[in-house]
Structure 1
Amino acid sequence: MKLDPKKPLTAAAICLLVLASACSSNGGDADGGNGNGAPQTKSSQWTTLGTRATPAEDGRIVTSNEGGQWTTYDPPATYPGTVQLPTQFISMRDGKQLAVYVTLPADADGNAVTTPLPTILVQTSYNGVAGQTVSAIGGADPYLVQRGYANVVVDVRGTGQSQGSWEAFGADEQADYAETVDWVAKQPFCNGSIGLFGVSYLGITTVLTAAQQHPSVKAAFPIVPIGDGYRDIVFTGGQVNPTFIPIWLGLVSVLGLTNPTALTDPTVGIPALLEHVISAVTNFQVPTILRALLGEPETAYDSAFWSTRSPLETTAQIQVPTFVVGGLHDIFQRSEPMTYERLKTRVPAKLLIGPWTHIQAAGGNGLPVDGVPPMNQIVLRWFDQYVKGLDVGADTLPNVTQYVLGYGHYVTASDWPHPDASARRLYLRGDKSLDTAAPAAGEASNTVAQLPIQGLCSISTSQWTAGLLGLIPLPCFENSNSAERWAIKYETPVMTEDYYINGPIQADIWMSTTALDAGLSVRVDDVDENGVAKSLTNGLQTASLRAVDDSRSRKLDGQMIQPWHPYTQAAVQEVGSGNIVLVPVEIFPTSAMITKGHRLRVAVGASNLPQGVPPVPTLLQSLAGVLTIYSDAEHPSSVVLPAVPASALN
């Protein structure tokens, strides 16, 4: 079998492409500029993915700046040093005090400059004091400050040295963002122009604050921000994350107890410290974990709680140039390109995705390479153009830059999703092959035990601990064969040419179980000549939460390629023992090339422990079962891939 990504599947697909081309010829379907620098676009064979509030829409392909190239940008420092001002506090509307750490450029004598400057605002939950040592969690970058920026770091409500109760992006915290921007804009060190910046939690506050449209905010640079709190990580596929989430909640709690003012000013510090402890134990951290594990409906199902904490619901309101950074093995892998997608037709937007875990992405691990500069140079260029107002070519940078697994290099494209992608469906055959031909009647099914510990030692262990355990060089992180020992593995023949995929993937799995419910873990691998399987991406789905909202799901060439699962209590569909059901599984987007001589593998199992475990009520219904995957004409299990001509890599 020869898998040719250039070969259309149907005549209908050809017609769609011809029509799209005809409509966009001579710019007839292109949108002009809208006054804020938004690019020109044309119709796309993709649709968007909807949100809780909006259905999917016809997609648009960005056509502006198709020839963008990376260049070095490293101007000399304007100031010889930096200086940090004493800790300050901002009074919020309810009287709560937020701690503020200001860093300014300094002259040769170490004196802070007095000229008002453009200002970089960082809002962190990890304690600005700790950030002075570890810049990724909130410290000022001397490289940026010495090139003419004031830097302000703020401990969000209930964290660090700030007062109040922490509720992770809750309504009170988000209301604080606007008051914080107001305060910064009025300070004598600020000239009224603010750039929002941050990694992880700090990147999320960047996106949420930018969506509030404060006139002083001129640009945003979020690195590895979440998009959907429920679907990205906390309850992927309806299963609660047992690795990163406890680590993260614990980190915020511990750093919230590291409060120097408890010693230097006990009347201020000790009440704040006690407030943090009481909140963690009785209000947010501990109760949230318990509610999730026990399957409490307001937490275990999608709800207003999660909508409030999902930036994709408001990202389209951002009106300033935004540069998004993501990672192919990041904990927020799913939504980082979608954050760019929500912005690309409205404002100047760029997307950079590296081969990174969460902690690797923080500083752009491995850069510079393939012409892509170090991360701080990219940040400086973006802010120099859009916060300082200089013409330094930030607008001419490539729209999209992605590392391609298997190819081993960064490549650029005019847009994401990839404009040249086409939907390719491969069927999971009874003989465990992957084929473009649909199965025949009576083909064999395959079974696997429903063990809740699959994937325990796999690349998922590294990914869902934010890359922390990935620092240990375990062979199972590089070769998925051991992790997939208890999975059903379907493989293509050896590729006769390079096969490039770029974007989200959907697996449509026909299954039954001897238990009452089941989980499905679907991993996509690149298998080399020696049989070593490198995991490219994966999906996880609870069978009873398989309901799909077609109006919000993404399609490519008319085929669903990214399902939207409601994950509400009302959407639960019982599975029952022995019943055959279709479970669409969302597999997170990737960019990868299966090179000539390699094989593509789809491994189907019953669990992926590092990524998710069902809440206790669902887990009890899923134990001690046997999962059957069907591969016959009536139940044709398959996977839909976004195939791109390999020539696009050039």
Structure 2
Amino acid sequence: MTMDKMIIERDVPIVMEDGLVLKADVFRPKDETPSPVIMTLGVYGKGVPYRDAFAPQWDVLMATKPEVLQDSTKKLMVWELVDPEIWVAWGYVCVRVDSRGSGRSPGKLDIFSKREAKDYYNAIEWAAAQPWSSGKVGLNGISYYAITQWLVASLQPPHLAAMIPWEGASDAYRDMMRHGGIQNDGFFKWWYPKQVIAVQHGNPRGWQDPWLGERSSGPASLSEIELERNRTDPVSDILSRPLDDEWYRERSADYSKVTVPFLSAANWGGFGIHPRGNFEAFTQAASKQKWLDCHPGRHEEWFYLDHGMALQKRFLDHFLKGIDNGWDKEPPVLLHLRRPFSNEFEQRKETSWPLQNTKWKKLYLDCVDGFAVPGMSWDPPCKWSKMSFAALGRPLTFLSPPLEKDIEVTGPVAAKLFGSSTTTDMDLFLTLQAFHNDREIVFEGAADANTPLSQGWLRASHRKLDPSKTLPYRPYHSHDEIQPLQPGKVYELDVEIWPTNILLPKGSQIALQVSGKDFERMMPPREAGNPWEMRNPTICTHSHLQDRPKDTFGGESTIFTGGETPSFLLLPFIEN
């Protein structure tokens, strides 16, 4: 649908109960037939063009997926949102709302806050009452626009009829802010200035809105001091809150109150921000009508590819338009299975998560005294052994024997490690890898081109488990008290490793890397002439010196295996 075939209203005011006015852009069918609404609310600026502000991602998408959105000129697209040209042609109204304090909406910017969720509630109810609305509102967006869906759904707006949170966190502490208790400062110190403050309301350097002919950050020009006063500081907020308190709970879904029908779309390779929240919400939310999609690929591309578009349309057509298209009979879990060194992804539908035909298998770690490379075995080693490593130095990598047959690994992963430290704490960074013919099996993930199979984290002083929520395959840490280590004492440590999928051919080897710092691999030099270097391939890093002081987290760590310390990796093998 071309722009002359739709009605476009920009900077439409939505008045909040406290008098503040949010600004929205509305795209609707020209025949003015009351239609269901697809709404988003977030901080990236409703008037910031995708192709300008996110040019690298746009260029890659257009170059690698030239077939994407062929029925659209793509001139109305912004980052992580639906394309109005497509959806208005399908009979929907698209509403984009700038969050309080962002873009064209004034106020204090406070990401994922209770105030932001309440504003979203108000905007949903406002849209439902408009003459161009059928009264049914659906939500559909990626990342930030997925996270806010879980938060507003917890408030149960009466006219919220369905939602598609695509690659979004639902537990602020565990999914994105503190992995296993360790601060994820790398993401927030990069993302917040680049993608949020850049579009803060009143920022005089905000992107130009080409559709309004004005700044996307509003007409006001605030000073640096005024801008800073008008926003919170998530890096400092997270640093000052090592335990899971009310501040994190306010920014997390209340699964018991998420009752709306939803399609939770998870990226297999979104470690650090996505996809844990999509899996947890699917298994924990009270909704009686819920589905889980598991896909590979870069962060945003599957949202716009034909498969993703058809999936979204069919789901929303059913719940927002009442179309009997068989969606209600669709199995609740849709998988896209990954094979090594292939860009073809087999689809399979399942009835539950974890999968019903899961056989949980333990790979026991074995330090193998006298060998440089520790191993793993299917039987617990009788002999007790140990191996130490510098927490900030080279990691240990435990390698399994070659597989005797083809194996599918699909589901949550966990590890039980027996470990000690020469200091009063230690951070564990676990990376699940696989190799075939000495070549690592990697996939293009949400944010990097060489994503390992999975990752997990745990701060040893946060080892306390919540027995009411812990499952054998998904340990759940309470994060409600700090229990320092006694140097040299051995502790039992259960580590959650995020869900994964891989179809491993015979002869492959499974590996578990155990480190005291972020995962790194040899990467090509950034500039010609420079040597290859070790780099973390993701933006979710954990290196804040106040959160990880070297005198505490830079000691020597020891892993114990066999005998009375049977450290193991728990894997979900699928029997067909």
Instruction: Bin the TM-score by the shorter chain.
Output: 0.7 to 0.9
- Work out whether residues 404 and 592 of structure 1, in 8 Å CA contact, stay in contact via their aligned partners in 2: yes
Amino acid at match of 1:438: P
The CA deviation string for residues 89-130 of structure 1, in whole angstroms up to 9 with x for no partner, is 11111111101100112xxxxxx3222212111112111101
Q: 1:99 aligns with which of 1, 12, 23?
A: 23
Q: 1:305 aligns with which of 241, 244, 247?
A: 247
Q: 2:412 aligns with which of 504, 509, 522?
A: 504
Q: 1:253 aligns with which of 194, 197, 215?
A: 197
The CA deviation string for residues 263-319 of structure 1, in whole angstroms up to 9 with x for no partner, is 9899x9445x539x657524644x331344xx42xx2221101001112xx233233
Q: Which has the higher contact order (CA 8 A, sep 6+)?
A: 1
Partner-residue secondary structure (3-state), 1:390: coil
Partner-residue secondary structure (3-state), 1:358: coil
> 1:423 matched to which residue of 2?
360
> 1:172 matched to which residue of 2?
115
Q: Trace 1:117-266 onto structure 2 (pairs within 5 A).
A: 117-130=35-48, 133-138=76-81, 140-250=83-193, 251-256=195-200, 257=203, 258=206
Distance 1:433 1:259, change over 3 A: closer
For these two proteins, the number of residue pairs brought into alignment is 504
Q: 1:353 aligns with which of 286, 294, 298?
A: 294
Q: 1:541 aligns with which of 426, 436, 458?
A: 458
**Distance apart, 1:642 and its partner CA:** 2.0
Q: 2:474 aligns with which of 558, 562, 569?
A: 562
Partner-residue secondary structure (3-state), 1:565: coil
1:451 matches 2:382: no
Distance 1:265 1:199, change over 3 A: closer
Amino acid at match of 1:188: P
1:439 matches 2:376: no
The CA deviation string for residues 313-355 of structure 1, in whole angstroms up to 9 with x for no partner, is x233233321111101112221212222234x74222211111
Distance 1:552 1:280, change over 3 A: farther
Amino acid at match of 2:86: Y
Amino acid at match of 2:467: D
Partner-residue secondary structure (3-state), 2:126: helix
The CA deviation string for residues 605-641 of structure 1, in whole angstroms up to 9 with x for no partner, is 1111643236515423335422111113121211122
> 1:11 matched to which residue of 2?
none
Distance 1:567 1:88, change over 3 A: same
1:326 matches 2:256: no
Distance 1:284 1:79, change over 3 A: closer
1:81 matches 2:5: yes
> 2:563 matched to which residue of 1?
633
The CA deviation string for residues 336-391 of structure 1, in whole angstroms up to 9 with x for no partner, is 12222234x7422221111134334443xxx4xxxxx5222221111111101111
Distance 1:162 1:146, change over 3 A: same
Partner-residue secondary structure (3-state), 2:321: coil
Separation in structure 2 between the aligned mates of residue 616 and residue 80 of structure 1, nearest angstrom:
55
- Work out whether residues 117 and 149 of structure 1, in 8 Å CA contact, stay in contact via their aligned partners in 2: yes
> 2:279 matched to which residue of 1?
337
Q: 2:431 aligns with which of 523, 527, 541?
A: 523
Amino acid at match of 1:510: F
User: Greater CA deviation, 334-343 or 586-595?
Assistant: 334-343
- Work out whether residues 204 and 222 of structure 1, in 8 Å CA contact, stay in contact via their aligned partners in 2: yes
Q: Please state which structure has a larger fraction of its residues in helix.
A: 1
Q: 1:602 aligns with which of 496, 512, 522?
A: 512
- Work out whether residues 552 and 564 of structure 1, in 8 Å CA contact, stay in contact via their aligned partners in 2: yes
Separation in structure 2 between the aligned mates of residue 88 and residue 318 of structure 1, nearest angstrom:
29
Distance 1:86 1:329, change over 3 A: same
Separation in structure 2 between the aligned mates of residue 80 and residue 86 of structure 1, nearest angstrom:
15
> 2:325 matched to which residue of 1?
392
Separation in structure 2 between the aligned mates of residue 380 and residue 79 of structure 1, nearest angstrom:
21
Separation in structure 2 between the aligned mates of residue 359 and residue 597 of structure 1, nearest angstrom:
34
Partner-residue secondary structure (3-state), 1:274: coil
- Work out whether residues 239 and 615 of structure 1, in 8 Å CA contact, stay in contact via their aligned partners in 2: no
Q: Trace 1:3-22 onto structure 2 (pairs within 5 A).
A: none
- Work out whether residues 239 and 541 of structure 1, in 8 Å CA contact, stay in contact via their aligned partners in 2: yes
The CA deviation string for residues 520-540 of structure 1, in whole angstroms up to 9 with x for no partner, is 111111110134354210111
**Distance apart, 1:541 and its partner CA:** 1.1
**Distance apart, 1:151 and its partner CA:** 1.0
Partner-residue secondary structure (3-state), 2:382: coil
Distance 1:423 1:614, change over 3 A: farther
Partner-residue secondary structure (3-state), 2:18: coil
Partner-residue secondary structure (3-state), 2:313: helix
The CA deviation string for residues 214-261 of structure 1, in whole angstroms up to 9 with x for no partner, is 332221111112111111121101111133222321111102233769
Distance 1:436 1:139, change over 3 A: closer
Distance 1:523 1:97, change over 3 A: same
Partner-residue secondary structure (3-state), 2:137: strand
> 2:348 matched to which residue of 1?
411
Percent same amino acid at aligned positions?
25
The CA deviation string for residues 407-456 of structure 1, in whole angstroms up to 9 with x for no partner, is 64332211211111132222101222212222224x3311221117xxxx
Separation in structure 2 between the aligned mates of residue 489 and residue 81 of structure 1, nearest angstrom:
59
The CA deviation string for residues 512-569 of structure 1, in whole angstroms up to 9 with x for no partner, is 1223321111111111013435421011111111111222212xxxxx221111222x
1:289 matches 2:232: no
- Work out whether residues 80 and 300 of structure 2, in 8 Å CA contact, stay in contact via their aligned partners in 1: no
Q: 1:553 aligns with which of 460, 463, 470?
A: 470
- Work out whether residues 512 and 577 of structure 1, in 8 Å CA contact, stay in contact via their aligned partners in 2: yes
User: Greater CA deviation, 529-538 or 161-170?
Assistant: 529-538
Separation in structure 1 between the aligned mates of residue 199 and residue 3 of structure 2, nearest angstrom:
32
Amino acid at match of 1:341: T
TM-score normalised to structure 2 length: 0.81
Separation in structure 2 between the aligned mates of residue 582 and residue 361 of structure 1, nearest angstrom:
40
Separation in structure 2 between the aligned mates of residue 308 and residue 291 of structure 1, nearest angstrom:
13
The CA deviation string for residues 135-158 of structure 1, in whole angstroms up to 9 with x for no partner, is 343464311111111111111111
